[in-house]
Amino acid sequence: MSSPNLSQGNSLASRDVKSLIHPYTNLSAHEKQGPLIIETGKGIYVYDDNGKEYIEGLAGLWCTSFGFGEQELIDAAIKQMHKLPYYHSFASKSTEPGILLAEKLLEIAPADFSKVFFTNSGSEANDTVVKLIWYYNNALGRRDKKKIISRQKAYHGVTVAAASMTGLPPLHNDFDLPIQNIMHTSCPHFYRYGKDGESEEEFATRMADELEELILSEGPETVAAFIAEPVMGAGGVIVPPKGYFEKIQVVLKKYDVLLVADEVICGFGRTGEMWGSQTYGMKPDILSCAKALSSAYLPIAAVMVSEDIYQSMVKQSEKHGAFNHGYTYSGHPVPAAVALRTMELMEERNIIDHVQSVMPLFNERFNALADHPLVGEVRVSGLVGAAELVADKPTKRSFDSSLAVGAKAVGLMQEEGLISRAVAGDNIALCPPLIITAEEINKMFDLFTKGLDRTEQLATANDWRNS
């Protein structure tokens, strides 16, 4: 990283430490180390304030699908800023970009959705989903059918309801979460939770059975929805076991439980199809999306709902005089214009075809990491994957969490010129911009391997494996 001189009071680094709170950051350590300041970006690369080049191996936060400096998206924002820099969508007001983007999303959606509601982030989208589920069941007179089932290690955001659905304890600790009516079923991670002698499909059956047991124990008349990422991102890039969603949806249908697809990471080409729901056979009643919707150039997210859910909203708005939910920036015309141009570019440049053409190499290079002494498992879907670092491969024993081996590996990769991310402990994730080329994929994995090798040397020198 850049080497900030925190003793110099007017440096950007020292001013950062004095003024900013950084999300997902050890704030105490940050006060001593300071930030990595990213100054510019082009394509899959970003550059710090010392001019050092990095491959942005996580597309920012799983989001910059077109990389950095895409002029078409910049121009779309400027054009709309000149035409109409802001307007809202309250009280029947509308703008052309919001209308056109809603039409485009319904056109490419993986299920027969009726309407689109815009928010500003994936967290807001999933908070909205919770409210809509409760609103829907109240409209139907089912005032007890309010419980929402998520999964352990799921990630659905950080706002109060979204963080409650997130199944990662660090997001609950000392935040007094989860809230009422949110619960979690088993995590479908076969490598970690499969039993001896159990096949992957048998494991998927057990996961569905455990979901059914939870619904029955709570009472089907109280369970409203099940929310799932097609591929669990921040929980470790956990790819569903064979037959998982097919079996899960049988259970949901049996007990009249809505399926919510959280496509915030998987949507718009990440898994090799437009939607992760298509890759894994999901037929959701509600879908949330964000991130690559605008290639992250401006904040925008969306919730798509079925006709049944929309009609319940109409009924409730008649009852109460209005649909009393919304955000100042819902459908903001500038992000909407950028998102619309992003969707158009995906078609014009055949981005899905490009992703499918480089997926085999991405898979090959990721799977080759399984032979590394530190890697216990590799998980890949499309252009997203993770390597799970372990202290002992035969027993799958994890490193002691206090060693922060994943964070150390990410730091060494960053020194080599690759920005990756440690998720859910010692899982090192890659999720590069979708525009990445074969040559760039090879370069990225070469840097990844160098960082892993240096981590292995450090582990051997410090005897981490026996700690």
**Per-residue model confidence as pLDDT tens digits over 61-80:** 999 999 999 999 999 999 99
Q: What is the pLDDT of residue 461?
A: 79
Region of 112 (left: φ > 0; alpha: ψ -120 to 50; beta: rest) is beta
Tell me the C-alpha distance between 428 and 447, whole Å.
13
Q: What is the pLDDT of residue 10?
A: 82
Q: What is the pLDDT of residue 457?
A: 92
* Residues 260 and 366 grouped into a single domain: no
* Residues 229 and 357 grouped into a single domain: no
* Residues 208 and 247 grouped into a single domain: yes
Region of 243 (left: φ > 0; alpha: ψ -120 to 50; beta: rest) is left
Q: Provide the pairing of β-strand 147-151 with 223-228.
A: parallel
* Residues 291 and 199 grouped into a single domain: yes
**Domain end (from 297, 331, 348):** 348
Tell me the C-alpha distance between 422 and 398, whole Å.
14
* Residues 82 and 189 grouped into a single domain: yes
**Domain end (from 348, 364, 399):** 348
Report the CATH number at residue 455. Answer: 3.90.1150.10
β-strand partners of 38? 48
**Cβ-Cβ contacts under 8 Å for 71 (sequence gap 6 or more):** none
Q: What is the pLDDT of residue 7?
A: 58
| In-domain check, residue 18 | no
**Domain end (from 319, 348, 377):** 348
Amino acid at 432: P
Please enumerate, as own/partner, the contacts of 243-248 that have beta carbons within 8 Å and a separation of 24 or more: 243/201, 243/204, 243/205, 244/188, 244/204, 244/207, 244/208, 244/280, 245/280, 245/281, 245/282, 246/281, 247/204, 247/205, 247/207, 247/208, 248/207, 248/208, 248/211
State the DSSP H helix or E strand holding residue 362, giving kind and residue range, or none if neither.
helix 351-368
Half-sphere exposure of 7 (CA within 13 A, CB side): 0
* Residues 230 and 363 grouped into a single domain: no
Full DSSP string of 31-64 = HHH----EEEEEBTEEEETT--EEEETTHHHHT-
Q: What is the pLDDT of residue 51?
A: 96
* Residues 91 and 224 grouped into a single domain: yes
Report the CATH number at residue 98. Answer: 3.40.640.10
Tell me the C-alpha distance between 112 and 285, whole Å.
8
> Which residue, 221, 222, 144, is CA-closest to 183?
222
With a threshold of 0.85, does the pTM exceed it?
yes
Q: What is the pLDDT of residues 336-362, one digit of tens each?
A: 999 999 999 999 999 999 999 999 999
* Residues 342 and 363 grouped into a single domain: no
* Residues 247 and 381 grouped into a single domain: no
Q: Residue 102 has which token pair? A: 């809603």
* Residues 357 and 390 grouped into a single domain: yes
> Which residue, 379, 402, 401, 376, is CA-closest to 389?
376
Q: What is the pLDDT of residue 392?
A: 94
* Residues 119 and 100 grouped into a single domain: yes
| In-domain check, residue 274 | yes
* Residues 344 and 355 grouped into a single domain: no
**In the chain, how many domains are there?**
2
Q: What is the pLDDT of residues 105-129, one digit of tens each?
A: 999 999 999 999 999 999 999 999 9
Domain carrying residue 88: 72-348
| In-domain check, residue 428 | yes
Crossing angle for the helix pair 96-108 and 333-348, to the nearest 10 degrees = 40
Low-confidence ranges of the chain (pLDDT < 50): 1-3
